[in-house]
Amino acid sequence: MAEPNPFTVSADWLAAHLNDPGMAVVDASWYLPAQNRDARAEYDAGHIPRAVFFDQDLVVDPASNLPHALPSPLVFATFAGSMGISRDDTIIVYDGPGFFSAPRVWWMFRIMGARNVRILEGGIDGWKAAGRFVTNKPTKVASCVFEVEFDPKRVASLSDMRRIVDTGEAEIADARPAGRFAGRDPEPRAGVRGGHMPGASNVPALTLSRDGRLLAPDELRAAFADAGVDLSRPVVTTCGSGVTAATLTLALETLGHTDNRLYDGSWTEWGGRDDTPIEGAGS
C-alpha cells in the first residue's frame, strides 16, 4: 500500500476532523480569466464549513506592480491573523479542482512558518460531487496573532534568476503549459513576451495531478525526469505569476526534494522586461 502524502488530506479525513480544535480551513481558489470562474462568488454561494476565503489578489505586496507578489512577513501575518489562523493550527487549503491555486497558499503558509499545512485532494469540486455539505453562511472568525518565521531561502528574486541563468547553478522548472513555454501561445498578460528562460525545462503543473489528486511519487519522479530536470541538483520553480509554480514545489517536496526555491516574479517579471534573455518564439 502506498504511503500517504504528508502534504495532502482526503475529503473523508477532513470530514472526520472538521470540528477538531485548532483546525483552520482555507479556500484558496483563484482562476485565470479563460476558466470563467469567479472564486469569491463561488465561495459566497457555498463553501466547506469553517472555511475562510484567502484572496490571492489581495494578500500581496501592495508596493509591487507584479501580480501575486509575495507580501512581507508583517503583511502576511496581519492577513492570516485577521482570518483567525495561527502558525500552530492544522491548516487545510483547498481550491476548485484540487491542485491549481491551493499549492500557492500552502507554500505561502509554510515559508511564513506554519508547521502543519495540507491540501484537500479533489478540491471543493470533488467535495460537492460527493454530496458533502457546504454552507453559504459567513464563517465566524476570532482574530489572533500569526507569529511569522519567514524563510527567505525558499524564494528566488530577479537577481537570483539572472545569476542562475548565467551560471546554470540550479535547474529551472517552468510550470506553464507547453505552448506558452515554447512561445507558440500568447501570454495572458499584455506586454509579456513569449518563450522561456535559457536552460529552463517545462513541467506543466496540470500534468502532475489526475482526478483532483497529486500523482503517485513514481509518476512525479518520471514527469521531472522526462522534462530533463535533474533532481539531484537544486531546483527553482517558476510559472506565469508564481501561482502554479507552487504545484511543482509541492511535487518536489513530496519526493523529498527540499533544496528548492520558487521564483516569485516568475514569467510576468522575466518576460515583461526587455533586458532578460529568452528562448522560444519570443526571442
Task: Summarize pLDDT for 98-136 with one digit per residue, the tens.
Answer: 999 999 999 999 999 999 999 999 999 999 999 999 999
Q: Which of 85, 239, 248, 278 is catalytic?
A: 239
Instruction: For residue 207, count other CB atoms closer than 10 A to its CB.
Output: 18
What is the pLDDT, as a whole number, of residue 34? 86
What is the pLDDT, as a whole number, of residue 283? 58
232-264 tens-digit pLDDT: 999 999 999 999 999 999 999 999 999 999 999
Per-chain mean pLDDT for the chain: 96
Query: pLDDT band at 5, cuts 50/70/90?
Result: confident
Q: Do residues 121 and 94 lie in contact, with contact meaning Cβ atoms separated by under 8 Å?
A: no
What is the pLDDT, as a whole number, of residue 1? 41
How many residues in the chain?
283
Catalytic residue check, 239: yes
- 153-271 topology per CATH: Oxidized Rhodanese; domain 1 (3.40.250)
Least Cα distance to 53 among 69, 81, 75, 29 occurs for 29
8-29 tens-digit pLDDT: 999 999 999 999 999 999 999 9
Q: Are strands 51-53 and 23-27 parallel, antiparallel or unpaired?
A: parallel
Note the CATH architecture for domain 8-150: 3-Layer(aba) Sandwich (3.40)
Provide the sign of the torsion angle of the four alpha carbons 150, 91, 207, 39, taken in this order: negative
Q: Please state, in angstroms and rounded to a whole number, the distance separating the CA atoms of residues 103 and 119.
A: 7
Least Cα distance to 205 among 237, 172, 182 occurs for 237
CATH 3.40.250.10 boundaries in the chain: 8-150, 153-271
Q: Do residues 254 and 168 lie in contact, with contact meaning Cβ atoms separated by under 8 Å?
A: no
